[in-house]
Amino acid sequence: MQGFVSALRRAFDRWVGWKRLGILASVAIVTIAVLHLIKTLKGINSEHVLLALEDKSSTHIALAAVCVFCAFCTLTLYDLFALRTIGRFNVPYRIAALSSFTSYSIGHNIGATVFTGGAIRFRIYSDWGLSAIDVAKICFISGLTFWLGNTFVLGIGLMWHPSAAEAIALLPQSVNQLIGFGFIAGIAGYLCWLAVGRNRRELGRDGWKVVLPSAPLTLVQIMIGVVDLGFCALAMYLLIPESPHIDFLSMAVVFILATLLGFASHAPGSLGVFDAAMLVGLGEFGREELLASLLVFRILYFFIPFAVAVTIMGLRELWLSVVIPWQQRRKPNQLSSAPAIAPAGKPQQQKS
């Protein structure tokens, strides 16, 4: 039996491989989402969408913007937690905040977040002496924070409101509830595994080895992800139509599923995938009203942070590549043109 499993694994690695499987899964998710989105948007009246945008409460939009701001503030803790986990205490919070915000905002909007976000992180952290392996560890721990937070909230939501995911998952409520129990049980088992001992918390070998956070610190890690997700979901909840009524947790389950599908697709800004999942999961709302809500959310959560992040990185590169070299070239000239000043008590002797 063991030989058969080994042969099957070798055949899988040779003919398919996890990389190809991931690409196929991404393409499949994007294709299904786009086809469904085209089908859903048929017959949409653009004038009704514009009217729905005009009817949006400015107070709700402002509160949603505050929630998005708080979400990105929480997001800065992802890198800070990762830095402290790998023992890099010399990197200050402002650098962790800069890296976390720019890498997520730019990487998620461009797509292939693992590569684009990692490249931005390396560009910033290399100035502080971090290697590519250190950056890889930061990306891994930050991603772990995201998935632990999402899995925890999704598990609670599926147990409490299994019907909320029925339209997206296409599974019976009992199965959704069982999946929710499985998620929470998995997190509980992971925490117990971490509590066993430090040696069991090491992952990797040779030059790449990361020590996972302890069980108490993992609870902090989960809380960071939960707070970040909570602010994002609350922003969306403030923007959706008031009628028909939906409770926050049910909406949060749909929001998390749409977010995870968007990440799995690797589509730039989860475009099409996130929107299609939200339109399917919240089918009780009018399409024009919900589409207007999604447009406002995209502006607040995707477009504005992306523009700010690109501006920040552009100004930083301009400062590093133009201003600082100009100052360094200017300093020697200033020193050479400065008048000679004799030390105190030793006046210069005049030549005869």
Q: What is the pLDDT along the chain (352 residues), one digit of tens a residue?
A: 555 546 556 655 655 555 565 556 556 655 665 665 566 666 666 777 788 888 888 999 999 999 999 999 999 999 999 999 998 999 999 999 999 999 999 888 887 677 788 889 999 999 899 998 999 999 999 999 999 999 999 999 889 888 888 877 778 888 989 999 999 999 999 999 888 866 667 777 766 788 889 889 999 999 999 999 999 999 999 999 888 888 898 899 999 988 888 877 767 777 778 888 888 888 888 888 898 999 999 999 999 999 999 999 989 888 777 766 776 777 665 545 544 444 444 444 444 3
Candidates 264, 308, 290; CA nearest to 114 is 264
Domain coordinates in residue numbering, the chain: 58-320
> Which residues touch 30 (CB under 8 Å, ≥6 apart)?
265, 267, 272, 273
**Nearest Cα to Cα of residue 104 among 302, 318, 244:** 302
Around 194, how many Cα atoms within 13 Å sit in the side-chain half-sphere?
A: 15
Interacting residues of 328 by C-beta distance below 8 A, sequence separation 6+: none
Rounded to 10°, the helix 173-196/132-160 angle is 140
Could you read off the pLDDT of 235-284 as tens digits, one per residue? 999 999 888 888 898 899 999 988 888 877 767 777 778 888 888 888 88
Cβ partners under 8 Å of residue 145, min gap 6:
78, 81, 82, 221, 222, 224, 225
Distance in angstroms (rounded) separating the CA atoms of residues 243 and 241: 5
